[in-house]
């Protein structure tokens, strides 16, 4: 009768995530692998990351990075939120494309910088909504975001921190704008006549100087005539108001010195020359027009 032959095999030991022998087992699309650097199909930010001379940085060449650091780098590069690693005892920065957008002109300087070099005045570990000021396009721009920082632990203790950030700027601005519109609606509902209506509009805008740091309000010179007509007929002649060629100053909000530059009366011809060539067209159509005022335009 045949006998089964016993074959002894060495016991396989499951290696931990911090073992140095994992090598290329990180991922077939490992962005930290040297051979991946030759690929033209990677995203722009990944290409930027790979082209850096890491041998001249605090973290050293990619070939010396531990598997756990490489795994975290691969994770943040695919994270849709703004993600950052603050790695090592000096908390050196590695970040993804979305974080590069959030920090504006701090990119690409921030890569391989320490947390104190990137954010010298920020040491908090968690905020739901926070306003930050960054240099964007040559000017200072305010942005809102939330972020959290959690530690990354290893066999030798704390290896670094994972920082997840989100851009809430559009959400915060939208909420402020809605709040302002509701305030204006509430204020104007208390108006007793057309003169107080203008004052109520300005009062509502003053409630939110962030979205309306300055406003100048003019009313149609034909408004009084239209108002008298509506008192007898109950109908306001909107065509008469929109077609008006003269406008009377009702007030301003914001810096008083700027308010002095606005004339008490404006005629359509003057406005088309000094404010916008299509001023009267938009007034007649009842459309909102957005334009940039040049310095000294109304002085």
Exposed e or buried b for every residue in 104-139, given b needs 16+ CB within 10 A? bebbeebbbbbbeebbeeeeeeeeeeeebeeeeeee
| C-alpha–C-alpha distance, residues 262 and 218, integer Å | 10
Q: Same domain for 163 and 263? A: no
CATH number at residue 45: 3.30.450.20
Q: Same domain for 68 and 187? A: no
Q: How many domains does the chain have?
A: 2
* Domain range enclosing 145: 28-167
Residue 182 lies in a domain: yes
Residue 221 lies in a domain: yes
Residue 71 tokens read as: 């795994």
Residue 98 lies in a domain: yes
**DSSP, res 293:** P
| C-alpha–C-alpha distance, residues 284 and 241, integer Å | 9
- CA 247-250-253 angle, to 5 degrees, is 125
pLDDT tens for the 299 residues of the chain, in order: 555 555 454 444 344 444 444 445 566 788 998 665 555 667 899 999 999 999 999 999 999 999 999 999 999 999 999 999 999 999 999 999 999 988 888 899 999 999 889 988 765 544 555 666 665 566 666 777 777 889 999 888 889 999 998 878 888 888 988 999 999 999 999 998 888 899 999 999 988 888 788 888 888 876 555 444 444 444 445 555 555 678 888 888 887 667 777 888 888 888 888 777 877 777 777 777 776 655 555 43
Query: CA quadruple 55, 61, 64, 69: dihedral positive or negative?
Result: positive
Give pTM, 2 decimals.
0.57
Exposed e or buried b for every residue in 218-254, given b needs 16+ CB within 10 A? bbbbbbeebeeeeeeeeeebeeebeebeebbbbbbbb
Residue 47 lies in a domain: yes
């Amino acid at each position: 009768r045949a006998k089964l032959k016993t074959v002894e095999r060495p016991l396989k030991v499951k290696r931990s995530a911090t073992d140095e022998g994992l090598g290329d087992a990180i991922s077939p699309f490992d962005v930290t692998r040297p051979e991946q650097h030759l690929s033209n199909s990677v995203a722009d930010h990944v290409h930027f990351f790979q082209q850096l001379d890491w041998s001249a940085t605090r973290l050293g060449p990619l070939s010396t990075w531990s598997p756990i650091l490489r795994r975290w780098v691969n994770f943040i590069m695919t994270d849709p939120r703004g993600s950052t690693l603050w790695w090592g005892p000096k908390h050196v920065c590695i970040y993804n494309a979305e974080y590069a957008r959030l920090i504006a002109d701090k990119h690409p300087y921030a890569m391989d910088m320490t947390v104190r070099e990137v954010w010298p005045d920020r040491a908090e570990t968690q905020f739901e909504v926070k306003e930050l000021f960054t240099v964007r396009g040559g000017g200072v721009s305010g942005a809102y975001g939330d972020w959290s920082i959690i530690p990354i632990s290893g066999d030798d203790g704390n290896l670094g921190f994972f920082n997840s950030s989100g851009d809430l700027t559009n959400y915060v601005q939208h909420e402020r704008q809605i709040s302002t519109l509701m305030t204006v609606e509430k204020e104007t509902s208390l108006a007793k006549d057309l003169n107080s209506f203008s004052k109520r509009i300005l009062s509502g805008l003053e409630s939110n100087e962030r979205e309306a740091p300055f406003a100048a309000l003019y009313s149609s010179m034909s408004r009084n005539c239209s108002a008298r007509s509506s008192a007898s007929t109950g109908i306001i002649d909107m065509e008469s108001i929109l077609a008006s060629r003269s406008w009377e100053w009702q007030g301003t909000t914001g810096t008083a010195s700027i308010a002095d530059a606005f004339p008490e009366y404006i005629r359509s011809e003057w406005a088309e020359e000094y404010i916008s060539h299509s001023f009267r067209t938009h007034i007649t159509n009842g459309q909102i027009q957005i334009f940039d005022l040049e310095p000294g335009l109304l002085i």
